Structure 1
Amino acid sequence: MMYFYRQCPQGHYPYKIQPGDTLIHIALRLDKSVSEILSANPGIDPYNLRVGENICIPACPPNHRPIIIQPGDTLYQISQTYGVTIESILEANPSIDPNYLRVGQRICIPAACALR
């Protein structure tokens, strides 16, 4: 069976449904809520996800940039790189564990405030 490729709007990224996926598992794995995923994908049946189907996952709110955690990354190092506080990163990503960043995890970094 062939599925149409879902074009994701700006601020979203595609995710391909894998065998065994449920919206709850996807939401937990990607640090999103089920309602956020449903809002980004009108018309999908949450009880009948099709393996191979692409859905759109919200990336970050306005004035935030997504980054992917790399080996060796720490919140301190990320805060220094992007000129933001550790607290602002945690506020933008309430579900992350600051002591255990997962390689490949996508987090949102708030825009740095201009110094006066």
Structure 2
Amino acid sequence: MFTIARRFGVSLDSLIAINPQIPDPSRIFPGQTICIPETSTPGPCPPNSTVYIVKPGDTMFLIARRFGISLEALVNANPQIPNPNNIKPGQTICVPKGPPAPQCPPGSTRYTVKPGDTMFLIAQRFGISLNALIRANPQVSDPNRIFPGQILCIPPR
């Protein structure tokens, strides 16, 4: 697949991503059909954003959630995508960086949200009330929606 990617001017990662039907990319056979991602190069991503290659199963909503940003911010950062409901594996998009990590007051602990965490579980883990955790994190607009990688302040007991 490396040779094919080079021949068509696409990255090996995007070629593999757009061909999930090939279990072992190092073993392809003559006559096997593979998809080649479009080579139209989007404009450079704006400052404070990163390039992301869409993987099979990705949606704009899931990508936004994975990076801890709003769907609206992700869509606005990608005006080259005519229909945000129709993205394809191998497609390149710009992901704006999320809000800056909060500055925790003295005595507080910085905590990085892990997959499966909820505000309730984090409060329990640190032996504080849910309300205290919510008050210590005014940057969290919806306490029911936190994301892996997000930074929270854990107030002292």
2:109 paired residue among 76, 80, 91 = 76
Higher relative contact order structure (alpha carbons within 8 Å, sequence separation ≥ 6): 1
2:91 paired residue among 40, 53, 56 = 53
RMSD: 3.2
CA contact (8 A) 1:93 1:108 kept: no
Find the aligned partners of 2:84 and 2:60 in 1 and give their Cα distance: 6
Return the index of the structure with the highest Cα Rg: 2
Matched positions, count: 85
Note the 1:69-108 alignment, pairs <5 A: 76-77=109-110, 90-94=137-141, 95-96=145-146, 102=148, 105=149, 107=150
- From the two aligned structures, give the one with the greater strand fraction: 1
Q: CA deviation at 1:108?
A: 7.0
Q: Percent identity?
A: 28
Structure 1 stretches (4+) deviating beyond 4 angstroms?
none
* Residue 59 of structure 2: aligned partner: 22
CA contact (8 A) 2:69 2:98 kept: no
Unaligned runs of 5+ in 1: 66-74, 79-85, 110-116
Q: 1:90 to 1:14 in 2, by over 3 A?
A: farther
Unaligned runs of 5+ in 2: 1-36, 102-107, 112-132, 153-157
The TM-score, its normalising length taken from structure 2, stands at 0.42
Which letter does structure 1 place at the counterpart of 2:50? Y
Q: CA deviation at 1:46?
A: 0.9
